[in-house]
C-alpha cells in the first residue's frame, strides 16, 4: 500500500483505490478473495520504516463505513498502541559501540542543549560536536541525531 508510506492518517481504501490509474497489487489480491473495501492505519518507525494495520471487508457490505466510523476512537487507539509498541531494532552491539564521549554528547542533547552549548560544556569545538552527531547517527543506524537520542533513551544508555 503505497499510501501507507506517505501518510500517518488512517484512510478508507476507496479514497486511494483509483482503478483508472496503475493497478495496486494489494487491492488486486484482496479482490480475488472477495475483499473490495477496507480501512488502513499507517504505523511509522521514527526512521524510514513503516507498516500498517488493515481492516478488510467483503464485497458489498453496506454497513462497513458506518461500523468503522462509529468505532473510530477505538481503531485510532489500537493504531496508537501498535505504534508505541512496535519492535525496536536496535542491537546491543550498536549501542555498546558508542564511546563515553558520544554517550556524554547524547546526554547533553537529551537535556535540550544545542551544539554550541554542548561544545562549551564538553570543551570541544562545534565542528567536533557535529562530527559526534554524524558518527552516532551512523553507528546506531538512525536517520538523524534526534532519533539516535530517543533510541539511546529507550535503551537506558545514559
Q: Which of 42, 65, 85 is the last residue of a domain?
A: 85
- pLDDT band for position 33 (cuts 50, 70, 90): confident
* Nearest alpha-carbon partner for 44 in 90, 73, 94, 80: 80
Instruction: Please report the pLDDT score of residue 12 as a whole number.
Output: 86
Across 135-155, average pLDDT: 87
Residue 130 lies in a domain: yes
Give per-residue burial for 34-65: e unless 16+ CB within 10 Å, then b. ebbbbbbbbbbeeeeebebbebbbeeeeeebe
Nine-digit cell string for 77:
487507539
Range of the domain at 65: 11-85
The conformation of residue 46, written as its DSSP 8-state character, comes to S
Instruction: Please report the pLDDT score of residue 48 as a whole number.
Output: 59
The residues with which 39 forms a beta bridge, in sequence order, are: 12, 55
- pLDDT band for position 32 (cuts 50, 70, 90): confident
Q: Is residue 39 scored above 60 in pLDDT?
A: yes
Amino acid at each position: 500500500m503505497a499510501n501507507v508510506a506517505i501518510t500517518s492518517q488512517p484512510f478508507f481504501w476507496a479514497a486511494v483505490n483509483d482503478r483508472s490509474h496503475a493497478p495496486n497489487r494489494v487491492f488486486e489480491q484482496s479482490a480475488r478473495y472477495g475483499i473490495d473495501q477496507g480501512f488502513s492505519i499507517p504505523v511509522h518507525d521514527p526512521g524510514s520504516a513503516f507498516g500498517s494495520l488493515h481492516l478488510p471487508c467483503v464485497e458489498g457490505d453496506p454497513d462497513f463505513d458506518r461500523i468503522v466510523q462509529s468505532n473510530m476512537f477505538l481503531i485510532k487507539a489500537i493504531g496508537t498502541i501498535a505504534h508505541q509498541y512496535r519492535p525496536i531494532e536496535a542491537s546491543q552491539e550498536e549501542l555498546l559501540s558508542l564511546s563515553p564521549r558520544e554517550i556524554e554528547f547524547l546526554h547533553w542533547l537529551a537535556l535540550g542543549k544545542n551544539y554550541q552549548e554542548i561544545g562549551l560544556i564538553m570543551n570541544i569545538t562545534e565542528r567536533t560536536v557535529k562530527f559526534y552527531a554524524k558518527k552516532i547517527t551512523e553507528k546506531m543506524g538512525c536517520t538523524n541525531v534526534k532519533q539516535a537520542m530517543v533510541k539511546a533513551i529507550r535503551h537506558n544508555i545514559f
